[in-house]
Amino acid sequence: MPHTEQRVLIIGAGIIGLSIGWELARAGCQVDLFDRDEAGQGASSVAAGMLAPDAEIGFEETTLHALNTESRRRWPDFASKLEADTGADVGLRTEGTFIVADDRDAAEALRRRYRFQQNQGLEVEWQSGDEARDEEPFLAPHLSGAVWSPTDHQVDNQAVVKALQVAVEKHGGQLHEHTPIEAVVPNADRPGVVTNDGARVEGSTVIIAAGAWSQSIDGLNGALPIRPVKGEALRLKTKPTFDLQHVVRGPEAYVVPKNDGHVVVGATAEEKGFNDEVTARGLYKNLEGGWEVVPGLLDLPVTCTCASFRPASRDNAPVLGPVAPGIVAATGHYRHGILLTPVTAEEIARYVMTGTVSDWIEPFQPARFDAVSADLS
Ligand code: GLY
Residue-wise pLDDT for 284-315, tens only, equals 999 999 999 999 999 999 999 999 999 999 99
User: What's the one-letter identity of residue 273?
Assistant: G
Q: Dmax over Cα atoms in the chain, in whole Å?
A: 63
Nearest CA to ligand 1 atom 2: 335
Q: Report whether residue 335 contacts ligand 1, using a CB cutoff of 6 Å.
A: yes
Q: What is the pLDDT of residues 65-79, one digit of tens each?
A: 999 999 999 999 999
Which residue's CA is the closest to the ligand 1 atom numbered 1?
Answer: 335
Atom number of ligand 1 nearest to Cα 338? 1
* Residue 269 CA, closest ligand 1 atom number: 5
129 close to 110: Cβ distance less than 8 angstroms: no
**CA of residue 90 to ligand 1 center, whole Å:** 19
Tell me what the mean pLDDT of segment 268-294 comes to: 96
Task: For residues 186-201, give the mean pLDDT.
Answer: 96
CA distance 97 to 40: 26
3-class secondary structure, 206: strand
Q: Point out the ligand 1 atom lying closest to the alpha carbon of residue 233.
A: 5
Dist. CA 193–CA 196, nearest whole Å: 10
Please indicate whether residue 230, judged by its CB atom, sits closer than 6 Å to ligand 1: no
Q: How confident is the model at residue 4 (pLDDT cuts 50, 70, 90)?
A: confident
Distance 266 CA to ligand 1 centre (A): 8
Ligand 1 in reach of 310 Cβ (< 6 A) = yes
Predicted confidence (pLDDT) per residue in 319-363, tens digit: 999 999 999 999 999 999 999 999 999 999 999 999 999 999 999
Half-sphere exposure of 51 (CA within 13 A, CB side): 30
For ligand 1, whether the C-beta of 333 sits within 6 Å is no
Distance 122 CA to ligand 1 centre (A): 20
- Beta bridge partners of residue 136, listed in sequence order: none
Mutate which of 254, 271, 308 for ligand 1? The one with the most ligand atoms within 8 Å of its CB, which is 254
Q: Residue 370: what pLDDT?
A: 73
Write the DSSP symbol of residue 301. Answer: P
The DSSP output letter for 269 is -
Return the exposure string of 316-341: e unless at least 16 CB atoms fall within 10 Å of the residue's CB, then b: bbbbbbbbbebbbbbbbbbbbbbbbb
Query: Is the Cα torsion angle 195, 199, 200, 205 positive or negative in sign?
Result: negative
Q: Work out the pLDDT band at 5, boundaries 50, 70, 90.
A: confident
Q: How many CB atoms lie within 10 A of CB 369?
A: 21
Nearest CA to ligand 1 atom 3: 335
DSSP state, 57? P
Question: What is the 203 CA–ligand 1 centroid distance (Å)?
Answer: 34
CA dihedral 335, 338, 339, 341 (to 10 degrees): 120
Find out whether the beta carbon of 248 lies less than 6 Å from any atom of ligand 1: no
- Residue percentage of the chain with pLDDT more than 90: 94
Please name the residues in contact with 218: beta carbons below 8 A apart, sequence gap of 6 or more: 182, 183, 184
Which of 44, 45, 50, 54 should be mutated for ligand 1, with most atoms under 8 A from CB?
A: 50
Q: Please tell me if the CB atom of residue 285 comes closer than 6 angstroms to any atom of ligand 1.
A: no
The rounded Å distance from CA 119 to ligand 1 centre is 23
Distance CA 118, CA 56 (A): 14
DSSP 58: P
To test ligand 1's pocket by mutation, which of 64, 149, 310 has the most ligand atoms within 8 angstroms of CB? 310
The reply to whether the predicted model has a pTM over 0.85 is yes
Q: Which atom of ligand 1 is nearest to the CA of 266?
A: 5
For residue 375, is pLDDT > 90?
no
Protein residue whose Cα sits closest to atom 4 of ligand 1: 335
> Closest Cα partner for 92 from 78, 104, 106?
78
Interacting residues of 159 by C-beta distance below 8 A, sequence separation 6+: 88, 89, 90, 91, 260
